[in-house]
Structure 1
Amino acid sequence: MFQEFRHLRVQDTSDVDHLLSPTQVHQPSTLRSPALEVMTDFIETAPVTVSGQLGVDEALEWMKSQHVRMLFVVDDRDRFVGVITARDIAGTRVMAYAQQNGIARAEVQVRHVMHGKEQIRGLTFEQVSDATIGDLMLTMQGSGDQHVVVIDEGYAGVKRVRGVISASDISRLLKVSFEIMYEAKTFAEIEKIVAHGGEL
């Protein structure tokens, strides 16, 4: 049964003293780093999806288990129809819908409070390929978006969502909260915040 596999010879580690960290391999990301560094590319990582019929609290649990703050909503034919974020579920949107429609919170489904794809803004893969993290940060700061989808064209000109960029991923990569960046008045101040690990 296991004939195609082989035992590997394990090594003694008593003479190993050091741990490698990513900063020793890659230069730390900055505002001038390529925007592609913060894009979740669906060629490499599958999008986390949810049915519009799922209850909002179940959707929130699904987000937590997948370590994401946004889900792509698909219909019964797996077509992209919108997105829902943790903020949508945890905020006032769900209760407002429940009250307006005279139903309990437990009856509110993803499709009731999601953002339909016609409401979602995106960037093309070409734009992102030619941009820096600073460009993305400025764009998202200006629009107030926490997530931006990235669109490209497949065979025969079929448009598809190629990936997503999230404010939280940018914050994590630069080790600076987006809220602190919003307080900065100039790009020079933002660069100073990044250089000093979140302090002005």
Structure 2
Amino acid sequence: MNAALNTPYRNIPTEELLGSPRIAYPDTQASLTLDDPATEVMVDFRASRPSVISGDLPLHDARALMRTTEESIKLVVNRAGEFVGIISLKDFLGKKALAKAHAMSVRLDAVQVKDIMQRTSQLPSIHTRHLRNVKVGDIVETFNQAQSEHFLIFENDSEHPDRSCLRGLISASDVALRLNISLESMARAKSFSDIVHAVNGTFD
């Protein structure tokens, strides 16, 4: 008891919770404007642990896993745990897997995640230093120019100075959702002004 009295810490008052309170959840769908900071649309892996999947996993198992976890995208890692690409539910749809199996001359159940994933080299990347003082509108314009669905956000690896570290991800679908515009409108936009019109609800 005496040891407790001599501690530099203090007891915090507790209360009885009455009724059936609502549970607070992150406001991930908060509306956004083109002038908001670009970091508002970045999934920061230092704040939110990324969902990963092995590149060696057969497509059937990978598809079942993604459906179970209700995730539309996963980071793909190799046996060393290194990031090698991303895969989304969209990659499982259509004829992509069948075409790959045919090209590899194997059965469909022999195709693995790494065979149809979007490789790191195929994805545009942005260094964190370029996100400083950057607005959502700048990201939209960059998406418009790059014709990509995702941007990788990287920084210098503090543990390995000669290497990069994947810090986060920005997805066009997330940006479109937060701006309250459809992906179809974003895909059909030919210029940044089209995106502005879409945000304002005047883009047909």
- Tell whether the structures are fold-level matches, with TM greater than 0.5: yes
Cα distance in 1 for residues equivalent to 2:137 and 2:179: 10
Q: In 2, Cα distance between the equivalents of 1:109 and 1:159?
A: 26
Partner of 1:88: 91
Counterpart Cα distance in 2 of 1:66 and 1:122:
26
- Name the % identity: 27
Conservation of the 8 A alpha-carbon contact between 2:140 and 2:192:
no
Per the alignment, residue 9 of structure 2 pairs with none
TM-score normalised by structure 2 residue count: 0.77
Aligned residue-pair number:
185
Paired with 1:129 and 1:57, the residues of 2 have a C-alpha distance of: 41
SS in structure 2 of the partner of residue 151 of structure 1: strand
Aligned positions of 1:152-171 closer than 5 A: 152-155=155-158, 156-171=161-176
Q: Please tell me the residue identity of whatever aligns with 2:16.
A: R
In the TM superposition, 1:121-200 aligns within 5 A as 121-155=124-158, 156-196=161-201, 200=204
Structure 2 alignment gaps of length 5 or more: 1-12
What is the Cα-based RMSD across aligned positions, in Å? 2.9
Counterpart for residue 11 of structure 1: 18
Q: What's the TM-score, normalizing by structure 1?
A: 0.79
Distance 2:123 2:189 in 1: 26
Q: Please say which of residues 136-145 and 185-194 is displaced more in the overlay.
A: 185-194
3-state SS, counterpart of residue 130 of structure 1: coil
1:102 aligns with 2:105: yes
Task: Check whether the contact 2:125–2:153 (CA below 8 A) recurs between aligned residues.
Answer: yes
For structure 1, the residue ranges without an aligned partner over 5 or more in a row are 1-5, 14-18
Bigger Rg, structure 1 or 2: 2
Tell me which amino acid in the other structure corresponds to 1:10: L
Match of 2:54 among 45, 51, 56: 51
